[in-house]
A and B are shown apart, each in its own frame.
Chain A
């Protein structure tokens, strides 16, 4: 008897839990639905007094209208964002992985001092230092240039910190085998360590790419000229303008998130693993 009661309670509990999960999932997917629905609607469909679940007809021509609108530098902004994100991700991976490996494996008298010099900057979030960074970048004459958007973001103390933690736990036997063959630090790193760390590199790479593609405050400060706009700045400019072209803005936003959503679906496993590995929650 108690067993039967228990299992009905279990069943009810499980039904309730799934009901909450489904309702939650609907709320979390709602903004994506609104992006696509509004992006493929006419202005009249969006502003209709009675809610339309789907537009009366899918207006794919919104896409070509967006790219042909001379007032919106959509293509240019997308290309800028792509260049910035790719260069920044590659740069951060190389620079931080090298530094993390050096800190973890190469004996050096002052290695600890260097490590504290690096992690001290973790206490100061980049967002708060945008004023002094702007001052520096403008003195270099890098305002409204891709250099100004890319270079200051190449030196990520947190990525270096994570790589160091990861390499400290890297199996030493693999490296020792290579070193017995006479391979030095450089060769060991590129031929043994990196090929065996693909998952971790993918995790840091994905997180860096997303951060770079979505960053807003730094491009807002630096990309003052239309030619240097990133896609986030383009969206923001039209979002905060006096009058907005609703379908165009929504299709632009849908296009802006598409590469990340695709990337996210395929690389999610690595991100989850990276977040877990980061040790933030330990």
Chain B
């Protein structure tokens, strides 16, 4: 083998190395240019004072990071994420599991119901925000929610502009739930179909019914699916931007409350001044936080397992 010319060795047996490069090369090259280089560049920028420039010279060490961690609005954006996650994760989880259980047991019009609950997946956050902000939760009297309250003799509520009580959470959480529940329902349905019917037969022979079957057979069998759904919900909540931006910003102004991390980052890095140094430091901190959660998710995608 060693006596072969270099080019032939590089191409490999049956040109295998060459073919590997032809198949995988374009993707890896794109990944380097559009994912790896920006990340490395961003880490570089995060150590510099970089206002309006991407080739800075003023090295500030960890200054940007310390500023970010000291910045109360950055910390409050992390708190906003925690509150949002506490609302959205359990409610969407329960809703999608509930829908999956109902649809799975339906004998009649099953496909119809599955399609109806899955359909919002085709909708964008912008369109959902539009319907939620201008129709369902419109703060004026003709909004749908206020119309229903009116029938009950209750005064209209300014859903998105009051902070006491923070009704805007109801608007934000229901919008995302409507968009996402159907997708997770499909994951649960797939999980339900993998449960062996013999388990249910055995339970029926033992006289177990209803809640007992759910508690001791269905839910334990859905454990892997449930963990995956929880992690996906959490990671997606961390990246929430679209519905917050479209529901709450108005003529270029965003209220001081309800700013999740990406909204904060958007205004910090791309708002006035284009402060790429602090913006990059913020992005690095968020990336590290999310990578921790994603590492957990990786286990469920089987990335850690040895492939053969």
Contact = CB atoms under 8 A, between A and B. Distances in A.
A60 interface: no
Contacts of B126: 214, 216, 232, 235-236, 239, 253
A31 interface: yes
Contacts of B31: 117-118, 121, 155, 157
Interface in B173-199: 178, 182-183, 186-188, 190-191, 194
Interface centre among B127, B249, B290 (most CB of A within 10 A): B127
B38 A132 contact: yes
A135 B85 CA distance: 30
B152 to A, nearest CB: 13
Interface in B32-50: 34-39, 41-42, 45
Contacts of A260: 122-123
Interface string A146-158: 0000011011010
Interface string A71-101: 0000000000000000000000001101101
B183 A128 contact: no
Interface stretch (B58-66, B73-81, B212-220, B294-302): B294-302
Interface stretch (A62-70, A170-178, A194-202, A272-280): A272-280
Interface in B227-281: 228-229, 232, 235, 238-239, 241-242, 245-246, 249-252, 262, 265-266, 269-270, 276, 279-280
A185 B117 contact: no
A125 B119 contact: no
A177 B191 CA distance: 35
A281 B41 contact: no
Interface stretch (B86-94, B98-106, B162-170): B98-106
A154 B34 CA distance: 9
Interface residues of B, number: 106
B6 interface: no
Given A28-B116, A99-B28, A123-B295, A134 B34 contact: no
A58 interface: no
Contact of B246 (A161, A240, A261, A276): A240
Contacts of A108: 12, 16-17, 20
A139 interface: yes
B287 A128 contact: yes
A184 to B, nearest CB: 7
Given A155-B34, A275-B183, A264 B130 contact: no
A99 B23 contact: yes
Contacts of B113: 21, 24-25
Interface residues of A, number: 100
A35 B178 CA distance: 15
A264 B131 contact: no
Given A131-B276, A217-B241, A253-B127, A279 B106 contact: no
B115 interface: yes
A38 B116 CA distance: 21
A17 B303 CA distance: 39
Contacts of A32: 119
A122 B186 CA distance: 22
Contacts of A186: 19, 22
Interface centre among B22, B113, B119, B246 (most CB of A within 10 A): B119
Nearest to B182: A28
B286 interface: yes
B68 interface: no
Interface string B147-160: 10000000000000
Given A121-B31, A264-B119, 19 more contacts: A24-B117, A31-B131, A31-B135, A99-B28, A106-B16, A108-B17, A117-B28, A122-B298, A125-B239, A128-B239, A128-B262, A128-B290, A130-B266, A131-B280, A136-B41, A139-B54, A155-B31, A186-B22, A235-B127
